[in-house]
Structure 1
Amino acid sequence: MAILELILQVILGITSLLLTLLILLHKGRGGGLSDMFGGGMTSALGSSGLAERNLNRFTIVLALVWFVTIVGLGLITKFQVI
């Protein structure tokens, strides 16, 4: 059981870092703090390219892996025999 917990902890660490990186790579949608200070001078084209769609898909899949890892670690912690 300890090996599985260690593997899940490593997966959690890697997915957390990758998820942070992927979220930061997304294009801003506007309406944030930069708009309050005059930084919102971007074009409002609603279409996203193929790279943006693939980034969205990869981010969602990685977020699901992250979520399953969290649930798995929680179940191991709850049912762990001391």
Structure 2
Amino acid sequence: MAILELILQIVLGITSLLLTLLILLHKGRGGGLSDMFGGGMSASYGSSGLAERNLNRFTVVLALVWFVTIVGLGLITKFQGLAG
């Protein structure tokens, strides 16, 4: 069970970093921090609709993997407490 927990912790770390990067790549919807870092300037140029949709899909899939990893680690922790 320890090897599964280690694998899930590594997956959690990697998905957390990737999820943060993907969220930061999204186009700003106006106002807020995205304008402070140049998001407002590039909003008029815009990215292609296909690229934005693919970015949304990757983000959602990665968020689901992150969520399943969190639930898996929680279940492992719970059952280790019952067994020990």
Compute the TM-score of the two structures, normalised by the length of structure 2.
Answer: 0.78
Please report how far the alpha carbon of residue 39 of structure 1 lies from its aligned counterpart in structure 2 after TM superposition: 8.4
Are the counterparts in 1 of residues 23 and 59 from structure 2 also a CA contact under 8 Å?
A: yes
Identity, % of aligned pairs? 91
* Distance 1:64-1:39 versus aligned 2 partners, 3 A rule: closer
Moved more, 53-62 or 43-52: 43-52
The unaligned stretches of length 5 or more in structure 1 are none
Q: How many residues align?
A: 80
Q: Which runs of 4+ in 1 moved over 4 A?
A: 33-48
The unaligned stretches of length 5 or more in structure 2 are none
Q: CA RMSD for the aligned pairs?
A: 2.9
Compute the TM-score of the two structures, normalised by the length of structure 1.
Answer: 0.80
Larger % of helix: which?
A: 2
In structure 2, C-alpha distance between the alignment counterparts of 1:45 and 1:60, rounded to whole Å? 25
Q: Which has the higher contact order (CA 8 A, sep 6+)?
A: 1
